[in-house]
Amino acid sequence: MTDVQETALRELLRIAPVIDELGARFEAAGEQIALVGGPVRDAMLGRLQNDLDFTTSARPEVTEKLVEGWADAVWDMGRAFGTIGCRKGPWQVEITTYRSEQYDADSRKPSVDYGDSLNGDLGRRDFTVNAMAVAVPGNEFEDPYGGLVDLANGVLRTPGRPEDSFSDDPLRMMRAARFAAQLGFTVAPEVVEAMTSMAARIEIVSAERIRDELVKLVTSPYPRRGLTLLVQTGLADHVLPELPALALERDEHHRHKDVYEHTLTVLEQTMDLEDRLGGGPDFVARFAALMHDVGKPRTRRFAEDGTVTFHHHDVVGAKITRKRMKALRFSNDEIAAVTHLVELHLRFHGYGSGEWTDSAVRRYVRDAGDQLERLHVLTRADCTTRNKRKAERLSRTYDDLEQRIERIAEEEGRAAVRPDLDGNQIMELLGLGPGPEVGAAYKHLLELRLEHGPMSEEDAKAALLAWHADRTDRRDS
């Protein structure tokens, strides 16, 4: 028995109470059922999670009857695709009738036809490493397409011709990149060739499905592998064209950093700093790293001395990022967070060697808002210079900025920069109702707070009354 098989056996023993009971129920009803796909692959890698996928000869209505009374909860949202879901203790279970699905040439949604054999079902799956099964009860291992060998060699291949597989479901091309990023696998040459020749077919897939694959890719352990494959095959031209656009043409007369390689390095350095954000993959931080320089192609200008400038690429990049994320149907909160970071990623470079006043530091914190920690990470990750002395100087300077932020926060006892009077106090003091005048007063007090730090309530009231009196005099004159 190989090490991979021994690992899988240990994992299967761990879930034996679930798969044995389920297998016995289906066998007694004269139906076949097998653990299939990702869970089998992950069992062999020693990383099986609580999501279990099964395939069965039973039709959905039969499956639903067989799990009722056994499962803690049952749902049928996937019935149209032959899937019944249920929960048993900590396990989330999906059971799908043997099937074959394919896209029409101009359809975004697959049509589903039920199959009649386990091998037929495995043959329609995306990659050989996902086309293995364990028939239950009895734990018989089924591997008709050599997935175990490919798993051991770390290779992604399709069970049949990749052109047929990608024609059936073009999203599988994105999944190839995602699995390369998740598992660290290489992609077989014939699969890369098919992805390259069929890249445009990805456009029939819905934005939401593409977005979900992109999120999984970016939050994987090896996102550079997947992103590089998207660019290499031309898929990125259709799903994230801002990324290949970063590979700016260079010539012997003009000097600038390789923006594409710089971006991938910033992404990896962001990953190295994620423990500052609580650990684990942080999509917002990673995607901001990936998009932070997308404004450079549009803002590149050549100077006579051979240098290249990218003035305002932060602002332009934020607009480009917002447009792309909207097209991919990201949530408003995710769009706001990522674009905010892209727009602010250069702000630190105005700090010089620490010349900022305390009011400038307060404004930095105020402008960053709830993205301050991610901005710390992105700014540090954005330093990719090979000049060790320069890198150390930038790191020390940012250390100084963070220390000043902490000191000012501690001295002023604030978690966020707010005026010394709230809206209700402003209205009561000035005898106003809700309206734009209250907003103007609030903004004035906020500017005073940013410029001078906190004031006592008495001083804040005096400053507000003086401002209001001057404003009234100017309006009446």
Q: Are 97 and 114 in contact (CB under 8 A)?
A: yes
Q: Mark which of 186, 220, 239 sits at the end of a domain.
A: 239
**Spatial separation of the C-alpha atoms in residues 36 and 95, rounded to whole Å:** 10
What was the pLDDT predicted at 200? Answer: 96
Q: Which residue has the tokens 């990608």?
A: 166
What was the pLDDT predicted at 253? Answer: 41
Considering the domain architecture, whether residues 283 and 221 belong to the same structural domain is answered as no
Considering the domain architecture, whether residues 407 and 377 belong to the same structural domain is answered as yes
Considering the domain architecture, whether residues 157 and 195 belong to the same structural domain is answered as yes
What was the pLDDT predicted at 104? Answer: 58
**Spatial separation of the C-alpha atoms in residues 53 and 178, rounded to whole Å:** 19
Considering the domain architecture, whether residues 206 and 91 belong to the same structural domain is answered as yes
Q: Token pair of 368, please?
A: 């960053």
Considering the domain architecture, whether residues 227 and 258 belong to the same structural domain is answered as no
Considering the domain architecture, whether residues 467 and 369 belong to the same structural domain is answered as no
Q: Which of 385, 325, 321 is nearest to 349 (CA)?
A: 385
**Spatial separation of the C-alpha atoms in residues 220 and 229, rounded to whole Å:** 14
SS3 per-residue string spanning the chain: CCHHHHHHHHHHHHCHHHHHHHHHHHHHCCCCEEEECHHHHHHHCCCCCCEEEEEECCCHHHHHHHHCCCCCEEECCCHHHCEEEEEECCEEEEEEECEEEECCCCCCCCEEEECCCHHHHHHCCCCHHHCCEEEECCCEEECCCCHHHHHHHCEECCCCCHHHHHHHCCHHHHHHHHHHHHHCCEECHHHHHHHHHCHHHHHHCCHHHHHHHHHHHHCCCCHHHHHHHHHHHCCHHHHCCCCHHHCCCCCCCCECCCHHHHHHHHHHHHHHCHHHHCCCCCHHHHHHHHHCCCCHHHHCEECCCCEEECCCHHHHHHHHHHHHHHHCCCCHHHHHHHHHHHHHCCHHHHCCCCCCCHHHHHHHHHHHHHHHHHHHHHHHHCCCCCCHHHHHHHHHHHHHHHHHHHHHHHHHCCCCCCCCCCHHHHHHHHCCCCCHHHHHHHHHHHHHHHHHCCCCHHHHHHHHHHHHHHHHHHHHC
Per the structure, the count of domains in the chain is 3
Considering the domain architecture, whether residues 307 and 173 belong to the same structural domain is answered as no
Considering the domain architecture, whether residues 306 and 393 belong to the same structural domain is answered as yes
Those residues whose C-beta lies under 8 Å from the C-beta of residue 431, and which sit 6 or more positions away, are none
Summarised one tens digit per residue, pLDDT across range 380-435 is 999 988 888 888 988 999 999 999 988 887 776 554 567 778 888 888 888 888 88
With b for 16 or more beta-carbon neighbours within 10 A and e for fewer, the 142-177 pattern comes to: bbebbbbebbeeebbbbbeebbebbbbbbbbbbbbb
**Global pTM value:** 0.82
Considering the domain architecture, whether residues 437 and 376 belong to the same structural domain is answered as no
What was the pLDDT predicted at 116? Answer: 84
Q: Mark which of 199, 218, 239 sits at the end of a domain.
A: 239
Q: How far is CA 95 from the centre of its chain?
A: 28
What was the pLDDT predicted at 431? Answer: 85
Considering the domain architecture, whether residues 446 and 405 belong to the same structural domain is answered as no
> What residues in the chain have per-residue pLDDT under 50?
1, 251-254, 415
Distances (CA, A) of 117 to 95, 97, 169: 15, 10, 21
Q: Token pair of 242, please?
A: 């801002």
Domain annotation covers residue 369? yes
Domain annotation covers residue 405? yes
* CATH number, position 155: 3.30.460.10
Q: Mark which of 205, 239, 273 sits at the end of a domain.
A: 239
The domain containing residue 333 runs over which residues?
245-412
**Spatial separation of the C-alpha atoms in residues 267 and 283, rounded to whole Å:** 11
